[in-house]
Structures are given as C-alpha cells and as structure tokens.
C-alpha cells in the first residue's frame, strides 16, 4: 500500500501535500493524445493494482465489484465470457467459481472464454477462438460447458469509429446479440452481465431483458472511469426461454 507523504510541520504549500502524479514528457514524434493516455495509465490506481495482483487488465476490478454487489460468481457456477480478451474477467471467474478445485469442500465450476482473436491460456479456463455470431455458436458453447450456463458475461466493445452516436449504436447491437446467445444457453435463474454505453438507444434491449429476467439493473462500478460513458447491465433471475412457436400442420 502506498504511504501518504508525511506533512511538514509549520509549512504549508496551500495544497496539503506534494503532487505525486507521474508526468510524462512529450517525446519528439509522440502525439499529445498518446502522452495523456500514458500519464493516465501510469497514475491509475486500478492499473497499478492489476499489475500487483496479476490481472491482465484493470477491467478485472469491474467484474470483481459487480460480483461483490450481486454475487453471481459462486463456487460451482458455469460461466461464459464473451469477447474474453485479454482475459481479466476469466481470471476473476476462475477463482470465484472454484474452477481449479482448490477450495476444499466447495463445488468446482467451469469457465469458458470465447473471442475472435487468440487469447493466451488461463489456468482453470477453457479458451476458444470463436465468432459468437456464427450459426450454432450456442450449441458449441453448451458442449464446451457440458450443459447450460449459470452466467453469461461480456465486456465487449465494438471498434471505435470516433463518432459517439455510431459507436453507441454498434455496442447496443453487440450487446443485443450477446443477450440473444445468453437466452439460448442460460439455465433458469441465471445471470447476464454486459457493458453498454449510455446514449438512449438501448430501450429495446432493456425491454428484452426485463421480459426474460426477474431483475435488471444498470450500474457503473467504481473501477469504471468517471469520464467514460460505459455502464453495465446486470440481469438476474433468468425466467427460462419460452418455447418457440410450433409450425402449423
């Protein structure tokens, strides 16, 4: 834990303590945006914690905080992580559902991560390169899990276009597709978690979730940067997908 600098008796700078932020000099050829990004990374306490605690990124703390609040990653749970790269969410899930079986006397869970790109192996997780939009992806996921899922989670974001409204529509479409897969693979009582961007175009998705889950909450965990428009939808208590209409004879 970083200690605060001791105050100097009898002296005051008017700010209470020294400025401990890391400053990055702008090297020749480095864009100002790159400099600001690097400064933010170096001074981000979640980035520091992620390195210290062995997580693959600061996003791991978002799912930790959401699970602390809603308690869906329980020992024995079967979890699907959509768009799992770089793997921080899988790391958290492996530990909390006891996928390695190292918590004596507790049920052993399973974690399956899927992504369009290759992801380095994670102990206790089964990682597959897959486009979850492909036909039959839900059946493949259930085969890897050995049954239905208790949790489907997604921290995916569509590639940025630089246009806020367009990016919002893209991520809503992505979340809607993830929700449809969740409806196909979740066990009744299951949970769906996904990142969305605030922007007002997600009403249809919210309606879909409210029809299929007992509770739907929209949350911004503390680890989510205050200047980001991202939030997370947490849908709990899956009602079970209604049987599809049978064709008429």
Query: Is residue 17 domain-resident?
Result: no
Q: Number of helices (H) and strands (E), helices first, in the chain?
A: 7, 7
User: Does residue 213 sit within a domain?
Assistant: yes
Alpha-carbon distance 158 to 143, whole Å?
Answer: 27
pLDDT at 233: 94
| 95 is annotated as contributing to ligand binding | no
Question: Which pTM does this prediction carry?
Answer: 0.78
* Peptide bond preceding 102 in cis form (omega within 30 of 0): no
In a domain, 206, yes or no: yes
* Residues whose CB is less than 8 angstroms from the CB of residue 242 and which lie 6 or more positions away in sequence, other chains included: none
Question: Residues 175-205: pLDDT tens digits?
Answer: 999 999 999 999 999 999 999 876 555 788 8
Q: Residue 233 sits in a domain of what CATH number?
A: 3.40.50.150
Predicted local confidence at residue 218, as pLDDT: 92
What SS3 class is residue 168? helix
Residue with tokens 């809503």: 172
Inside any domain, residue 108? yes
In whole angstroms, give the CA distance from residue 195 to residue 197.
7
Q: Is 131 annotated as a binding residue?
A: yes
Identify the active-site residue in 35, 195, 210, 215: 195
pLDDT along the chain (249 residues), means of 10: 40 37 47 51 70 88 97 98 96 98 94 96 97 94 96 85 70 90 97 82 83 95 84 95 50
CB 117 within 8 A of CB 44: no
Q: How many CB atoms lie within 10 A of CB 114?
A: 24
Tokens at 188, concatenated = 């009744």
Residue 246 forms part of a structural domain: no
The confidence score (pLDDT) of residue 157 equals 76
**Domain annotation covers residue 173:** yes
Residue 15 is assigned to a structural domain of this protein: no
Q: Is residue 131 part of a domain?
A: yes
The predicted pLDDT at position 163 comes to 65
Domain count for the chain, please give it.
1
89 marked ligand binding residue: yes
Domain limits at 159?
56-238
Residue-level pLDDT at 108 = 97
Report d(CA 142, CA 165) in Å as an integer: 34
Would residue 21 show up in a list of annotated catalytic residues for this protein? Answer: no
């Amino acid at each position: 834990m970083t200690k605060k600098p001791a105050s100097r008796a009898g002296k005051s700078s008017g700010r209470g303590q020294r400025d401990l932020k890391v400053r990055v000099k702008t090297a020749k050829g480095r864009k100002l945006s790159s400099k600001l990004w690097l400064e933010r990374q170096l001074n981000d306490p979640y980035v520091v914690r992620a390195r210290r605690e062995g997580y693959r990124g600061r996003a791991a703390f978002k799912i930790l905080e959401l699970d602390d609040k809603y308690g869906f990653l329980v020992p024995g749970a079967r979890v699907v992580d959509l768009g799992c790269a770089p793997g921080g969410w899988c790391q958290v899930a492996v530990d909390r559902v006891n996928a390695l079986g190292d918590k004596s006397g507790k049920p052993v869970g399973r974690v399956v991560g899927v992504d369009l790109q290759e992801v380095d192996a994670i102990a206790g997780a089964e990682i597959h390169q897959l486009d979850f939009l492909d036909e039959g992806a839900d059946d493949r996921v259930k085969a890897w899990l050995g049954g239905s899922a208790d949790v489907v989670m997604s921290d995916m974001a569509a590639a940025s276009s630089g246009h806020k409204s367009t990016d919002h529509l893209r991520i809503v479409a992505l979340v809607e597709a993830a929700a449809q897969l969740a409806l196909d693979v979740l066990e009744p009582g299951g949970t769906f978690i996904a990142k969305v961007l605030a922007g007002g175009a997600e009403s249809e998705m919210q309606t879909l979730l409210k029809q299929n889950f007992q509770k739907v909450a929209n949350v911004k965990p503390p680890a989510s940067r205050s200047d980001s428009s991202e939030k997370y939808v947490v849908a709990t208590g899956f009602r079970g997908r209604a049987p599809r209409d049978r064709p008429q004879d």
